[in-house]
């Protein structure tokens, strides 16, 4: 808990939610040494939810105390467990980047950790049917802890990897913090997000994703649900039921779109410039003629070249980018639909609602209710 990571705090919050519904007494115990020892005037725990170590699991079995593990990389392999579905997060990231026109991809993650192995599997499996290239760069999680030489080596590795890219490229990263490290390396290499590369993180840590500019698109893994499910499984074990044969996997809650994927990629430099102009000006009244003037080509020629990139055409691309901006504002802010409509270049909230329903198949109000506001 003292690390302050969202995945730990939300897992505990899920446990507390279940405890409040069932009347449990739920206690945080940072030290595993005292979990199984009775103290004066205290009853021993009836069950434990933990980042389970081998010694904890052994002691739990010896004392016949049910335990549920929520640590994906736990060395205690025989403990009933509830985990995030990282393979599914890889699929979600690939789908999101492909929908923005990217045809080259990269993944940054850990060398030996299970979450990276599963994310790579889901990410590459989604890209492979289309035969898209995917560059993978991995590092040891523990190599960066308080070691200046290790940091220099890590950053040098990032810079070398970035130099091997052929922009535009879509990148998926195992952890939001490492997105910021990678973005810093990209700035040093003269690459701009989201036009040269788009980037998606994992965990949706609010303090990392929302600041500094640009804000970071990330996948909320749903750790509060993991805590709740872990408590429900523990309740079943306390009642004497047999543990499940395999770990329970909880699908990610949602992908939260932000500025780091606010672009659409294209190989044609002229189309790339047109897309950049649309992305940067979609909150203003914008016509196909305006895009043609900005790219220095007549409208008919631009439309003909644009058709090779997207059969939808320029006008629909403007509308789609406005909707993407609206989705981000609906999630990130408490603004009214009227103010969001004006900020995204729509005449009014009714105009926004009709366009949103046509593209997203639901209303802005329903979208906000389903996704909430990013915290």
- The CA–CA distances, whole Å, from 112 to 51, 56, 93, 118, 373 equal 18, 23, 21, 11, 34
SS3 281: helix
Q: What is the DSSP string of 187-216?
A: HHTT--TTTTEEEEEES--HHHHSSSSSP-
Structure-token match 């998926």, residue found: 172
Which positions of the chain have pLDDT values less than 70? 31-43, 146, 372-375
Same fold, 6-84+223-253 and 269-371: no
- Position 144 scores a pLDDT of 76
- Residue 105: which H helix or E strand, with range? strand 104-110
- Position 18 scores a pLDDT of 97
Integer Cα distance of 349 and 117 in angstroms: 44
As its CATH architecture, domain 86-221+256-261 has 3-Layer(aba) Sandwich (3.40)
For domain 6-84+223-253, which CATH number applies: 3.90.1150.10, 3.40.50.2300, 1.20.1440.230, 3.40.50.300?
3.40.50.2300
As its CATH architecture, domain 269-371 has Orthogonal Bundle (1.10)
Contacts 24+ apart (CB under 8 A), 51-54: 52/76, 52/79
For helices 288-295 and 314-332, give the axis angle rounded to 10 degrees. 100
- Position 36 scores a pLDDT of 67
- Position 375 scores a pLDDT of 38
Integer Cα distance of 101 and 103 in angstroms: 6
Ranges of each domain in the chain: 6-84+223-253, 86-221+256-261, 269-371
């Amino acid at each position: 808990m003292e690390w302050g990571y969202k995945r730990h705090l939300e897992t505990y919050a899920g446990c507390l939610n279940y405890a409040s519904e069932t009347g449990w007494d739920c206690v945080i115990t940072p030290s595993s040494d005292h979990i199984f020892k009775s103290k004066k005037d205290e009853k021993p725990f009836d069950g434990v939810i933990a980042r389970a170590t081998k010694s904890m699991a052994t002691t739990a079995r010896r004392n016949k105390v049910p335990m549920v593990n929520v640590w994906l990389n736990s060395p205690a392999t025989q403990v009933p467990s509830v985990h995030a579905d990282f393979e599914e997060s890889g699929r979600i990231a690939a789908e999101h980047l492909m929908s923005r026109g990217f045809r080259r991809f990269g993944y940054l993650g850990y060398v030996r950790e299970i979450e990276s192995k599963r994310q790579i599997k889901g990410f590459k499996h989604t890209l492979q049917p289309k035969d898209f290239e995917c560059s993978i760069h991995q590092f040891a999680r523990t190599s960066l802890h308080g070691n200046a030489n290790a940091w220099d080596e890590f950053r040098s590795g990032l810079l070398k990897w970035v130099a091997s890219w052929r922009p535009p490229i879509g990148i998926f990263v195992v952890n939001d913090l490492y997105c910021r490290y990678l973005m810093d390396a990209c700035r040093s290499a003269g690459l701009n997000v989201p036009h040269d590369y788009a980037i998606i993180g994992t965990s949706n840590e609010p303090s990392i994703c929302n600041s500094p500019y640009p804000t970071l698109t990330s996948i909320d893994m749903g750790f509060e649900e993991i805590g709740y499910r872990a408590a429900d499984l523990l309740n079943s074990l306390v009642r004497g039921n047999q543990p499940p044969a395999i770990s329970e996997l909880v699908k990610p809650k949602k992908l939260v779109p932000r500025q780091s994927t606010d672009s659409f990629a294209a190989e044609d430099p002229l189309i790339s410039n047109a897309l950049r102009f649309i992305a940067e000006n979609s909150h203003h009244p914008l016509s196909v003629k305006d895009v043609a003037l900005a790219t220095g080509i007549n409208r008919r020629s631009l439309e003909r070249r644009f058709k090779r990139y997207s059969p939808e055409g320029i006008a629909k691309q403007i509308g789609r980018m406005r909707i993407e901006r609206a989705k981000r504002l609906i999630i990130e802010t408490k603004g009214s639909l009227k103010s969001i409509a004006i900020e995204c270049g729509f005449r009014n909230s009714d105009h926004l609602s009709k366009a949103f329903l046509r593209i997203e198949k639901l209303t802005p109000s329903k979208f906000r209710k389903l996704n909430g506001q990013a915290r």
